Structure formats: C-alpha cells, structure tokens
Amino acid sequence: MARYVLSLDQGTTSSRAILFDHAGQIAATAQQEFRQIYPQPGWVEHDPQDIWRTQLDVAQTVLSRLGLAAQDVAAIGITNQRETTLLWDRRTGEPVANAIVWQCRRTAAMCEMLKAEGFDQVIAATTGLVTDAYFSGTKLGWLLDNIPGVRERAERGELAFGTVDTYLIWRLTEGRAHLTDVSNASRTLLYDIRAGDWSQPILDRLRIPRSVLPRVLPSSADYGATTLLGGGEIAITGVAGDQQAATFGQVCHQPGLAKNTYGTGCFMLMNTGSEAVVSNNRLLTTVAWKLGENQPTQYALEGSVFIAGAAVQWLRDELGLIRDSAESETLARSVADSGGVYVVPAFVGLGAPHWDQFARGAVVGLTRGSGRAQIVRATLESVAYQTRDVVEAMQADSGLRLTALRVDGGMVRNDFLMQFQADILGVPVQRPVVTETTALGAAYLAGLAMRFWETQDQIAAQWRVERTFEPAMSADRREALAAGWRKAVDRAKLWIE
C-alpha cells in the first residue's frame, strides 16, 4: 500500500521535492537552486532545461533516500512559480526561447498601451487581474511577436504554451498531456474566471492562437501519469499555483481565512468562497482552487509583493553584505533599529496595492552612522512593511479585520522578521509546525483525488501551530515607522524610465 504523496515544488530560484506521509509530515526533502538569467535591466529568464533537470533530479533523490519505488507513492502533486511563461515545439519538446519569468518587465510598454486604449478594463472585468507585465499573457504575446518564425509556427498548431506546471506535466508524461489547472490558468491574463474558459476577446486582442493553450482541469484531477520516477507508473492528480497551494496547505478552506507566504516574493491570499470579490483597493481577484468537475470554483483576494526573499539574495549575491540568509537575522538583531534607514526593494517595480511597474529600488534615510547592519535590518523590515500595505487593502475590500496571520515559506524561519511582522501589523503571527505549506497543499490536492486523504476536514485537523509571535510594539511607534515607510515608497515611485 502506498505510504506517501510526492510534491514537486518548482519555485523561482530552486526546485524542490518533498515526500509527505499520511499525517501530513515531511518524510524526505531535496532542493536544488538553478541559474537566474538577466539579459537586460528589468529582464529575467530561466533556461527550461534547468527547470526540468533540477526538478527531475530532486524527485529522484527523495525517492532514493528512502529506497522507494513507484508503488510506495500514491500520487504526485505539482505546485509552481505561476506566471512564468514557456513556449515549446509540440513534436520535439524544444523550447523556442528561455522562459520569461514572472518578475520580468519587458512587456511594461505593451501593458501601458493596453491601458491607454482602455482594454485594461476588459482584462480586469474578465480575469480579475490588473494589466501588468507580471502576468503571462503579454509575455506570450512578446514571444509570438519577437522570436522569428514563432507566430507562424503557433498558427500552424506546432507550438504549446504553458506556465511551469504545464511544462512539467508535459515532460513527466513525455508529451502526452498538455494541461493546466484553474488556479494557474487564472494567472495568465487570458482566462475568464467566472465563465471558466479562455477569453476569446482577450486572445483576439493579444493575437494569441487558441491552439497553443492547454486544456484547463480542476486542481484535484487526473493529469496523467509518469514512468520516469521509481521504476513504475505514478499518477499526477494535484496541480495548483504556489500561492493557491499554500492557501490550501494552510487549511484556509473557509471564507475570511488568510495566509501569507514569504518566498522569493510575498503573497497574501484571503479565501472569499464561491464569490469572486471585486477589489476596490488594487488587489487581485483570483481562482483559489476547484476540487472536482462538479464542485464550485473557490476564489480569493490576493496581494502580490514582487520582492521579499529575493531582497535577501540581493544582500548576499550583489552587495556581499551577508554570507547566507541566517546571517541577516544575526545582523538585524545586532542593532536596536534601522537608524531611520528604509530599503524599498522595487527592483522590478511595485506590486499590490501600488502596481507601479516603473518604480525602482531605493535606499533612503542614510546618515554617516548607517552601516551594514542597518541596511540588512531595513531590508528584512521592508518585507513586513509591504505585507502591511497588502493587509490594509485586504481589510478595506473584505470588510473583515485580520485577527491573526498564518505564515509559511522559507523566510518564516527568521524569528526577527516574524516578530517585526507581528509588531508592525499589531496582530499575532502564527507559524505552523510544517512551514512547507506550498508543497503540502499540492500534496493534499493530489491525495484527495486518490482518496489518500478522504476529506478536507481530515486535512484541517492536521494543521498545528509551532509558534505564535505576539505584537509587542506600541501603537505610536508602529504608526511612526509606517509613516516613514510610506515616504520611502514615494521616493521609489519618483524614478523615471
């Protein structure tokens, strides 16, 4: 009898594979970072072969560590960096170009043109999204328009588009399945989230042939099977974009429950149930998940912060201020405060609720006494400030007051950041026992389809808090720091392309 579910967690900077047992606990994990490609300022790419190679390797590694074969694994769940865009040859599987990463800003001018003609209103009403270079639709349009011969090949039906989940399914099934799930489809800028189908008016405007698009399935469904792992056949039965998967893994199954994931970016989702709530505060309305063909689609409000953990990587790789992420916490604690320094990590523009794609990163408030520790601390604090901006918008849209914030992702191991987050929000921050809730959510979706877990209630009963961070900052201090942050953000918005 199968004892585990295998989760493939394909992220922006690394690929992971995690085996979960029936109690929702981690049995084995493996992770590999891969190359980030920056062809021009504001452009970000990945080599699709790097994505596939690292993901396959870590999957094989976790199975071999426990000496497992295919029959020991009930199912595979896939979760992924969402808006990253790939286009490949249906016959050979060869990509036509590098993947365009969600952080890439090359289509900002195209988005401004769509706004100027008022088409952003059509996009918002149909997809729940803002017209921004963040999403897949304009990235796909760019590939069709700028890679020689690609549009003609696409119109002949020779090419396949996909976000990373679709690409992995294609590779795992050796080209037999061209599929995505509703949560990933809802991030493409091409999907009608209420009708549950690709939007022909948007496809027509962006000149995208419907033939390149994958078929859309529920998040818990039959996506085919792979024979590339463990020597036998393993079914792929769960797929969700990383933030939706984390929301499911945090068991935010009821309207009003919210989680925040601290990864490369920072993403907060609030479950709004079967209603697609329209935001008045520049949040996104998105599909959360759909558990089966006959089940209602579940929706969420989302606030997307583009740069969170990536700012710590910047401290390490570009500035050389830290050796590893753990050192950032040590340095932050070595000073009483940031000394009035604010870091606004708008390296690829600002996401929710600002949606300023031309803003750029800024360090403000420097004095002669400002040093390495202050800059590192201010960088960590920037993650919490950006989250506060999203919380305020989400509370205004939903009419609900946040009573606690469930958190997950790699950065939540940083106790300094979690305490500062509680302080600047003025609400408790709850860190669960299993913080890899993105991978866990994908595993739960896959396991439900195979009846490895019977019900959502069974899953919810497994959620446990490891530590709660209680706010300890005075209200006056909190508001003074937040006011300084708002001034710093205004400075970052002054950048002119």
* pLDDT, tens only, 465-490: 999 999 999 999 999 999 999 999 99
Final residue of a structural domain among 221, 241, 261:
241
pLDDT tens figures, 51-84: 999 999 999 999 999 999 999 999 999 999 999 9
pLDDT tens figures, 308-352: 999 999 999 999 999 998 999 999 999 999 999 999 999 988 988
Model confidence band, residue 497 (pLDDT cutoffs 50, 70, 90): low
Give the pLDDT confidence score for residue 254 in this predicted structure. 85
Same domain, 159 and 269: no
Chain centre distance of CA 367:
36
Query: Residues near 449 by Cβ (< 8 Å), separated by ≥ 6?
Result: 75, 220, 221, 222, 237, 238
Provide the Cα torsion 414, 416, 419, 425; round to 10°.
-90
- Compute the distance between CA of residue 204 and CA of residue 162 in angstroms, rounded to an integer: 18
Same domain, 232 and 305: no
Same domain, 307 and 397: yes
Final residue of a structural domain among 241, 274, 301:
241
**Angle between helix 475-492 and helix 415-425 axes, rounded to 10 deg:** 100
Whole-prediction pTM: 0.85
Same domain, 65 and 135: yes
Same domain, 138 and 270: no
Looking at the domain assignment, is residue 366 inside a domain? Answer: yes
- Compute the distance between CA of residue 134 and CA of residue 106 in angstroms, rounded to an integer: 10
Same domain, 134 and 163: yes
For residues 102 and 84, the answer to whether their CB atoms sit within 8 Å is yes
Same domain, 331 and 216: no
- Per the structure, the count of domains in the chain is 2
CATH number, domain with residue 109:
3.30.420.40
Looking at the domain assignment, is residue 309 inside a domain? Answer: yes
Looking at the domain assignment, is residue 449 inside a domain? Answer: no
Model confidence band, residue 402 (pLDDT cutoffs 50, 70, 90): confident
Show the CA angle centred on residue 72, arms to residues 67 and 76, nearest 5°. Answer: 110
Same domain, 233 and 263: no
Same domain, 255 and 298: yes
The whole-number average pLDDT for the span 23-38 is 95
Same domain, 315 and 196: no
Give the pLDDT confidence score for residue 3 in this predicted structure. 93
Looking at the domain assignment, is residue 454 inside a domain? Answer: no
Give the pLDDT confidence score for residue 246 in this predicted structure. 92
Per-residue pLDDT for 106 more than 60? yes
Range of the domain at 20: 4-241
